[in-house]
Amino acid sequence: MSKFISMDFFQNLGKAFMLPVTLLSALGMLLGIGSALSSPQLAELVPFLNNSVVVFIAKFLSMVGAFGFQNLPALFAVAIPIALVKNEKGVAGFAGLVGFYMMHNAANFVLIQQNLLAKSGELVNNGQTIILGVQTVDMGVLGGIIAGIIVYQLHQRFYNIKLPDALSFFSGARFVPIVTAMTLSLVGLVLPFIWPPIAGLINSAGRSLVATGVFAPFLFGTGERLLLPFGLHHILVALIRFTPAGGEMVVNGHMVYGALNIFYAQLADPQTTAFNPLATQFLSQGKMPTFLFGLPGAALAMYHAAKPENRHQIKGVLISGVIACVIAGITEPLEFLFLFTAPYLYLIHAIYTGLGFMLVSLLHVTIGNTDGNLIDFVVFGILQGNQTKWYLILPLGMLWFALYYFTFKLVIVKFNLATPGRQNETAENSGDKPIVVAPLTKNDQASMIISALGGRENIIAVDNCITRLRIVLHDTAIIDEAKLKATGSLGIIKLDSKNLQVVYGVQVHLVKSAVEKLLD
């Protein structure tokens, strides 16, 4: 049980969320493009869009894009066990699908037996929905998350089970889908009775957040940044995007839960003329002042605050960080340049991010999706028409650029903070090289990482998220931090005595592959 509730578990769960969320983000762009091409306002400006071929393409893109939010609970049920287990990942994913279906099939059985099955047209009022062709209790994405976690626990317990010889055919990994089907069928039997009060509590929590009014997006934006260094921000984000904590709304006759689900449902609904501002206040629009303008301003401030002789050494790191931030919405390469050396700056950054969420909401901007990058700004802002008020991001962004630039430069210089390029020695003469290191081959880098982690015998597991190596060690106390920094690390986070994160940026998957190759 202690393992279940450990920091490591929740970190891995947050990482598991990224698999369906990444798919959803990509499909959302297709949905956004299809919706924009179908927009009557855009068709008036560009008559060519009324061409039958363009209309067909637009409808096709919308159909493909809508798949994500329509089947999100099932995607989570499959993705979570695949991401969490260490062995037999394919079996875990298969068991996730089996368990998710059996849970809802059993719930349907109870609804029929107890004469509780709602009539067509009354599903929303009775808290029911159709999932994989089965009328069942509407748990939203939490149904997939719960099923995925249960499957993970069952897999860990039974994937290497040894049965008596007469039943040996069902031993090992083959037993996991079997025990999953039985266990989650039992869970489904009680769902119609226990889920309504649980849903009531979640709805109350969501209403409490929204009741804070203009402070709701501020609390969300600030909290998400503060949780990011620990890798726990995905939990908060998933709750707001996919559960009633992020709001609920009837769209095209269906009850939709979660800010992102509401936005996508409206995006796919041809009758929608304006997006729900209570949903978009937690989405891309709130990130845009900081991601598109603020952090580039911070990067420029760090460049100007660096010693003149060191500026050429840090310019490449800052430029690549700005590109990742603006184009991809990946902020960690920039944030980790000052998180460890100037944590007070990171606190200011988190507050500024929350204020950006709040001000964009007060301006009634309605730009959705997940990443807050330039692509979101174009696809879900400009291409959706002026009703999104995308143009208000520009003057606010200019203000945010100046706010970040002057705040960062003032604080760095006044308190002599050790941001990149401000070391007393140049990179060539300094013994501490956190930013600029001699070029290493991937094999040499991996070898140095393994050595710095205390050798093979100290390493239990190596994984990665978007920008960090996530490492489980026997003992984090024996690592060589200076040697890790010399491998090109942007930052090192010790979570506890066993769990470590090392930031390498968006190419971290190549680092992980090289390390795993040597370990194998």
Tens-digit pLDDT profile for residues 452-468: 888 888 888 888 776 77
Tokens standing for 420?
Answer: 């990149």
Provide the pLDDT confidence category of residue 171 given band limits of 50, 70 and 90: confident
DSSP string, 113-181: HTT-PPPTT-TGGGTEEEETTEEEE--THHHHHHHHHHHHHHHHHHTT----GGGGGG-GGGHHHHHHH
Please give the residue that has the higher pLDDT: either 232 or 237.
237
**What's CA 139's distance to the chain center, in Å?**
21
Of 183-192, 235-244, 419-428, the one with minimum mean pLDDT is 419-428
Q: 216 with 205, same domain?
A: no
**Is the per-residue pLDDT at 40 higher than 70?**
no
Q: 127 with 273, same domain?
A: no
Q: 470 with 459, same domain?
A: yes
373-394 pLDDT per residue, tens: 898 898 888 888 888 999 999 9
Q: 79 with 220, same domain?
A: no
Among 405, 429, 453, the domain-final residue is 429
Q: 129 with 239, same domain?
A: no
Give the mean pLDDT of 201-207. 73
130-146 pLDDT per residue, tens: 888 888 888 878 888 89
Give the span between the Cα atoms of 333 and 338, in whole angstroms.
10
**Is the per-residue pLDDT at 2 higher than 50?**
no
Q: 425 with 477, same domain?
A: no
**8 A C-beta contact, residue 515 and residue 447:** no
**Is the per-residue pLDDT at 425 higher than 50?**
no
Q: 412 with 503, same domain?
A: no
**Is the per-residue pLDDT at 234 higher than 80?**
no
**8 A C-beta contact, residue 470 and residue 505:** no
Residue with tokens 């095209």: 252
Q: 375 with 510, same domain?
A: no
Q: Which domain holds residue 502?
A: 442-519
Q: 12 with 65, same domain?
A: yes
**8 A C-beta contact, residue 397 and residue 293:** yes
**Is the per-residue pLDDT at 365 higher than 90?**
yes
Among 402, 429, 456, the domain-final residue is 429
Q: How many domains is the chain built from?
A: 3
The mean predicted confidence, pLDDT, of the chain is 83
Cα–Cα distances (Å) from 84 to 4, 395, 489, in that order, read 11, 43, 25
**Is the per-residue pLDDT at 50 higher than 80?**
no
**Is the per-residue pLDDT at 182 higher than 80?**
yes
Question: Which pLDDT does position 287 carry in this prediction?
Answer: 94
Percent of the chain at pLDDT > 70 equals 90
Question: Which pLDDT does position 256 carry in this prediction?
Answer: 84
Question: Which pLDDT does position 3 carry in this prediction?
Answer: 44
Question: Which pLDDT does position 439 carry in this prediction?
Answer: 60
Answer yes or no: is 393 within a domain. Answer: yes
CATH of the domain at 449: 3.30.1360.60
Instruction: Cite the active site residues.
Output: 465
Q: 449 with 367, same domain?
A: no
Answer yes or no: is 1 within a domain. Answer: no
Give the mean pLDDT of 280-309. 92
Question: Which pLDDT does position 97 carry in this prediction?
Answer: 93
**Is the per-residue pLDDT at 42 higher than 80?**
no
Give the mean pLDDT of 91-113. 92
Q: 339 with 467, same domain?
A: no
Q: 166 with 297, same domain?
A: no
Of 21-30, 164-173, 289-298, 414-423, the one with minimum mean pLDDT is 21-30
Answer yes or no: is 434 within a domain. Answer: no
